[in-house]
C-alpha cells in the first residue's frame, strides 16, 4: 500500500468518525432490533412492521421534528401497546431521554412493566446491555445509559409531578380518573413535566368510551385526524374501511364509489395510506383505526362479535369501543316516562316464576322511608316486585320496626313457595347513625348501608365496604353515575330476555314512580376546560331512581357473595 493511499484511508476514516449517525426512524429501529417476547406475543420472534403496515407512519411520526403530539384512537387488536414499547425502545437505545409511561393505575403500571417492558428489555440485547443489572429489578423505575424510564399510575399525583420528562407515553387515557387526588387532570400533570424540553414528545393511545366525555376522542378532534385509506380492489378509489360498508353474506366490504363488494383478502392486500382530514394542523398527529384493518382479526370474527353484543346496550357499547374504535353515544338521556310505563304487565303471583332471589333498596327522607323490592333471574333480567312508603320520622324506632317487619314478610312465588328479601341496601346519606344502628345487627340477614358517590370514574358496585364509622357497620360506596349509565342503557332493552327490566301492573307503580325514575338527564358539562358527562335533575323528586340503584346494588352484592362463581356485575 502506498503512503498516499494510506493517508487517504486515514482521512476517510477520520471524517467518517465525525459524521452524524445515520437517520433512524422508530420503525427502522424496531425492524432491526426489536424481538417480540414469547410470553407477551402470539407471534414471538423478530419484529416486522410490514405485518401491520399502518403502524409504520404511527411509529415514525415521533421522529418528525414538527410533530410534538401523537394521538392514537383505536380499537383493540391493532397493536397499540406495541407502539408504546417500540417508541420506548427507540428512545432508550437511539436517543436516550427521560421517559414516563403512564398507565391508568399503579397496579397496571407494575403489570405493564413486569409483563411487557421487562421482557422486551431482556430479549433485545442492545436494550439489555444499556440497563444496569441491578436496575432491571426495579419495577417502576429503570435507568439506562443517558436516561431513565419511569412507570406511573394516573391515580398517583405525587409520581406524576415528580421529575422533568422529555417523552410521555400515555396508555388507555380514557381509563384515567378526571383528577389525580386534588391535583387536577392526570394527563395534563404528566404533560407539564415536559415543559422544559424544546423537543418533547407526547404519545397517547386509547380505545374511546362515551361520546362527549372521551378523553382520547377530544384529543383526536384537536389533531390533524388521519384515517387509514385503502384503494378499492375494483376501481381504486381510496377510502377507510367502515362498518357501514361491511356485508354479512357474503362477508365483504362494498366500495363507497363503485359499490363493488370485495373480499377481506382483496382489500387487505392493497397498499394503504394515511390521509389527514385537517392537514393544516402540523404539530399534532391523530390516528384512528378499527379492527377491520387488523391482520389479527378476521371480518367474520368481528361480525360474530357484533351479533353477540347487539342485544344489550352495555355489550354493544363495549363492541363499539373495542372493535370499531369509536365512542359510544349513550341513549340513556333520551328515555321517556311513557316508554317505561307502557311495559307494565300483570304478574300471576307476587313473584314471577323466573325470579331466583329478591333484593331491596331503601331511601331515607325526613318524613318517610321508600322501599323498592326487585327480583333477579338469569342473564341480568330483573322484575320489579313491590314499592312501599313507610310514613313517619326516621329518627324514631317505630319507622325502623315497620321496615324490619316488611323485610321479613314472605312473598308468594308463582312456583308456589314463599320468598323473602335476601339482601337490602339502605342509603346512609341522611340520618346515617340511625341507618347504621339498624343495619349493623342485621348484616347476617344481608342488610347493609350504602352511600352514593357522584365521581365519574367510580365503579357502580365493588364488594369492598367501609367500616370506618362509630357503629363499625359495613357501608358500600356506589358509583351512581356509572350505575345510572348502566341502568338507562338496560332500560333501552325493549324485549323480555337478557337484561330486560319488568314492571308490574300495580297501583304503587304509578305515573309518579316512572316520572321519578326518568327524572335525570345526562348532559356534557365542562370543568377546568374538560368535558364531563353528568346527570342533571329535570324535576325535584328522584327517589324511584335512587331506590332502583340501591336495589340493583343489593342484588349484585348477593350475586358476588352468595352465588357460586358470581361476579359483581
3-state secondary structure of 210: strand
- If pLDDT is split at 50, 70 and 90, which confidence band does 18 have? very low
Q: How many residues does the chain have?
A: 569
Query: Are 78 and 69 spatial neighbours (Cβ–Cβ below 8 Å)?
Result: no
CA 335/CA 450 separation, integer angstroms = 26
- If pLDDT is split at 50, 70 and 90, which confidence band does 172 have? very high
CA 556/CA 380 separation, integer angstroms = 10
pLDDT of residue 39: 81
pLDDT of residue 14: 46
Measured CA to CA in angstroms, residue 123 lies from 39, 128, 131 at distances of 11, 7, 12
Q: Which fold has domain 26-225+281-324?
A: Rossmann fold (3.40.50)
Query: Are 191 and 184 spatial neighbours (Cβ–Cβ below 8 Å)?
Result: no
Tell whether the model's pLDDT for residue 81 goes beyond 80: yes
State pTM to two decimals: 0.66
CA 417/CA 357 separation, integer angstroms = 12
Asked if residue 196 has a cis previous peptide bond (ω within 30° of 0), the answer is no
Tell whether the model's pLDDT for residue 131 goes beyond 90: no
- If pLDDT is split at 50, 70 and 90, which confidence band does 566 have? very low
Q: What is the 3-state secondary structure (H, E, C) of 299-346?
A: HHHHHHHHHHHCCCHHHHHHHHHHHHCCCECCCHHHCCHHHHHCCEEC
Phi, psi angle pair for 359, to nearest 5°: -135, 160
CA 20/CA 410 separation, integer angstroms = 84
H/E segment holding residue 4: helix 3-18
* pLDDT tens digits, one per residue of 442-490: 999 999 999 998 777 788 998 899 999 999 999 999 999 889 988 988 8
CA 569/CA 562 separation, integer angstroms = 13
CA 467/CA 480 separation, integer angstroms = 20
pLDDT of residue 184: 74
CA of residue 424 relative to chain centroid, distance: 29
- If pLDDT is split at 50, 70 and 90, which confidence band does 564 have? very low
Helix extents (H) in 179-255: 186-192, 215-221
Residue among 359, 352, 351, 358 nearest 551 (CA)? 359
**Residue matched to cell numbers 423505575:** 141
pLDDT of residue 15: 44
Domain coordinates of the chain in residue numbers?
26-225+281-324, 229-276, 335-562
* pLDDT tens digits, one per residue of 236-295: 999 999 999 999 999 999 999 999 999 999 999 999 999 999 999 999 999 999 999 999
- If pLDDT is split at 50, 70 and 90, which confidence band does 41 have? confident
Written as nine digits, the cell of 343 is 311495559
pLDDT of residue 508: 93
Percentage of the chain modeled with pLDDT above 90: 67
- If pLDDT is split at 50, 70 and 90, which confidence band does 19 have? very low
Written as nine digits, the cell of 255 is 366500495
Q: Do the domains at 26-225+281-324 and 335-562 have one common CATH topology?
A: no
CA 457/CA 480 separation, integer angstroms = 10
Strands 447-453 and 368-376: unpaired
Q: What is the 3-state secondary structure (H, E, C) of 380-438?
A: HCEEEEEEEEEECCCCCHHHHHHHHHHHHCCEEECCCCEECEEEEEEECCCCHHHHHHH
pLDDT of residue 40: 75
Span 170-178, mean pLDDT? Answer: 90
pLDDT of residue 336: 75
CATH class of 335-562: alpha beta
pLDDT of residue 531: 60
Amino acid at each position: 500500500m502506498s503512503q498516499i493511499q494510506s493517508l487517504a484511508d486515514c482521512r476517510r476514516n477520520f471524517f467518517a468518525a465525525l459524521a452524524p449517525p445515520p437517520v433512524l426512524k422508530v420503525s427502522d429501529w424496531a425492524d432491526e432490533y426489536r424481538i417480540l417476547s414469547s410470553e407477551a406475543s402470539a407471534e414471538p420472534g423478530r419484529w416486522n412492521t410490514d405485518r401491520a403496515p399502518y403502524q409504520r407512519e404511527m411509529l415514525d411520526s415521533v421522529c418528525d421534528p414538527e410533530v410534538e403530539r401523537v394521538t392514537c384512537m383505536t380499537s383493540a387488536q391493532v397493536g397499540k401497546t406495541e407502539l408504546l414499547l417500540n417508541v420506548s425502545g427507540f428512545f432508550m437505545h437511539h436517543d436516550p431521554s427521560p421517559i414516563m409511561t403512564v398507565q391508568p393505575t399503579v397496579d397496571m403500571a407494575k403489570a405493564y412493566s413486569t409483563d411487557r417492558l421487562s421482557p422486551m428489555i431482556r430479549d433485545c440485547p442492545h436494550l439489555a446491555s444499556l440497563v444496569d443489572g441491578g436496575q432491571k429489578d426495579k419495577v417502576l423505575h429503570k435507568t439506562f445509559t443517558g436516561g431513565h424510564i419511569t412507570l406511573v399510575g394516573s391515580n398517583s399525583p405525587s409520581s406524576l409531578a415528580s421529575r422533568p420528562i422529555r417523552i410521555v407515553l400515555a396508555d388507555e387515557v380514557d381509563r384515567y380518573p378526571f383528577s389525580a387526588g386534588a391535583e387536577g387532570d392526570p394527563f395534563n400533570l404528566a404533560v407539564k413535566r415536559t415543559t422544559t424540553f424544546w423537543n418533547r414528545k407526547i404519545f397517547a393511545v386509547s380505545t374511546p368510551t362515551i361520546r362527549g366525555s372521551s378523553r382520547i376522542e377530544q384529543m383526536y378532534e384537536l389533531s390533524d385526524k388521519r384515517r387509514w385509506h385503502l384503494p378499492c380492489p375494483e376501481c381504486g378509489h381510496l377510502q377507510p374501511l367502515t362498518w357501514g360498508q361491511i356485508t354479512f353474506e357474503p362477508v365483504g366490504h362494498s366500495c363507497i364509489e363503485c359499490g363493488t363488494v370485495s373480499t377481506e383478502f382483496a382489500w387487505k392486500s392493497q397498499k394503504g395510506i394515511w390521509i389527514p382530514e385537517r392537514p393544516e394542523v402540523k404539530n399534532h398527529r391523530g390516528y384512528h383505526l378499527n379492527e377491520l384493518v387488523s391482520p389479527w382479526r378476521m371480518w367474520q370474527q368481528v361480525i360474530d362479535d357484533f351479533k353477540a353484543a347487539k342485544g344489550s346496550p352495555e355489550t354493544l357499547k363495549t363492541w363499539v369501543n373495542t372493535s370499531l374504535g369509536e365512542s359510544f353515544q349513550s341513549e340513556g338521556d333520551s328515555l321517556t316516562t311513557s316508554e317505561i310505563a307502557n311495559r307494565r304487565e300483570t304478574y300471576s303471583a307476587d313473584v314471577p316464576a323466573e325470579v331466583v332471589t329478591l333484593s331491596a333498596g331503601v331511601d331515607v327522607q325526613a318524613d318517610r322511608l321508600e322501599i323498592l323490592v326487585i327480583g333477579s333471574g338469569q342473564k341480568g333480567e330483573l322484575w320489579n316486585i313491590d314499592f312501599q312508603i313507610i310514613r313517619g320520622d326516621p329518627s324514631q324506632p317505630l319507622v325502623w320496626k315497620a321496615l324490619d317487619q316488611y323485610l321479613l314478610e314472605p312473598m308468594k312465588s308463582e312456583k308456589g313457595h314463599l320468598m323473602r328479601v335476601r339482601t337490602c341496601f339502605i342509603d346512609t346519606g341522611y340520618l346515617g347513625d340511625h341507618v347504621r344502628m339498624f343495619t349493623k345487627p342485621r348484616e347476617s340477614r344481608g342488610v347493609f348501608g350504602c352511600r352514593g358517590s357522584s365521581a365519574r370514574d367510580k365503579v357502580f358496585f365493588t364488594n369492598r365496604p367501609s367500616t370506618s364509622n362509630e357503629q363499625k357497620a359495613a357501608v358500600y360506596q356506589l358509583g351512581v353515575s356509572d350505575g345510572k349509565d348502566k341502568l338507562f342503557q338496560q332500560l333501552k332493552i325493549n324485549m323480555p330476555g337478557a337484561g330486560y327490566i319488568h314492571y308490574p301492573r300495580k297501583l304503587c307503580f304509578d305515573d309518579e314512580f316512572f316520572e321519578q325514575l326518568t327524572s335525570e338527564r345526562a348532559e356534557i358539562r365542562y370543568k377546568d376546560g374538560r368535558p364531563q358527562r353528568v346527570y342533571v335533575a329535570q324535576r325535584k323528586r328522584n327517589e324511584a331512581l335512587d331506590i332502583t340503584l340501591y336495589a340493583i346494588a343489593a342484588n349484585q352484592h348477593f350475586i358476588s357473595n352468595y352465588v357460586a362463581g358470581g361476579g359483581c356485575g
